[in-house]
Amino acid sequence: MSLIYSIKTRQMSDLINQGVRLALNGTVASAVTDGVIMAGANERNIVVTGWSLSSKSSTDVLVSLGFKVAGQDTGNFLSCYVRSGSPIAQIYQIGDERYGASAACLVITTDGNDVAYTVDGRLLADKVGLGYIQNTAITRL
């Protein structure tokens, strides 16, 4: 006889402790389209849990953050204006994080210069999908 365990739901602690934590910091010195913040890799997903943007520019600078898989259009999850003296930030609640597809790069696009960014996130490497685990060994006491 074998016992079969069914994985039906994920625990809240799994979501909180999921993946390796990231804190990506950098600056953009000129207008850029799909500048790579973090390169993607097969069987790895980037999850954005929060971000902050600031600028030294006295005029509005349009900034977009998104995920891009080679050969496909960029899927932006953020598009906003930032200027000197008006930094903006967002921390996503649990369950509202921004998930990139497998092999997707995290990219930034700006139409101006002097933009500083911090992107907080997690790096996931899920190779096995949820399903059934069969246990054929039964221990008797």
Q: What is the DSSP string of 7-61?
A: -----HHHHHT-SEEEEEEEEE-S-EEEEEEE---TT-EEEEEEEEEEE--SS-E
Q: For residue 89, what pLDDT is reported?
A: 95
Q: What is the pTM (predicted TM-score) of this model?
A: 0.75
Tokens representing residue 63 in the block:
């900034």
Task: List per-residue pLDDT tens for the chain, 141 residues long.
Answer: 444 444 445 555 555 557 788 899 999 999 999 999 999 888 788 999 999 999 999 899 999 999 999 889 999 999 999 999 899 999 998 888 899 988 899 999 999 888 999 999 998 875 544 555 555 555 555
Domains annotated on the chain, with CATH: 3-135 (2.60.120.1330)
Give first-to-last CA distance, the chain, whole Å: 17
d(CA 62, CA 123): 27
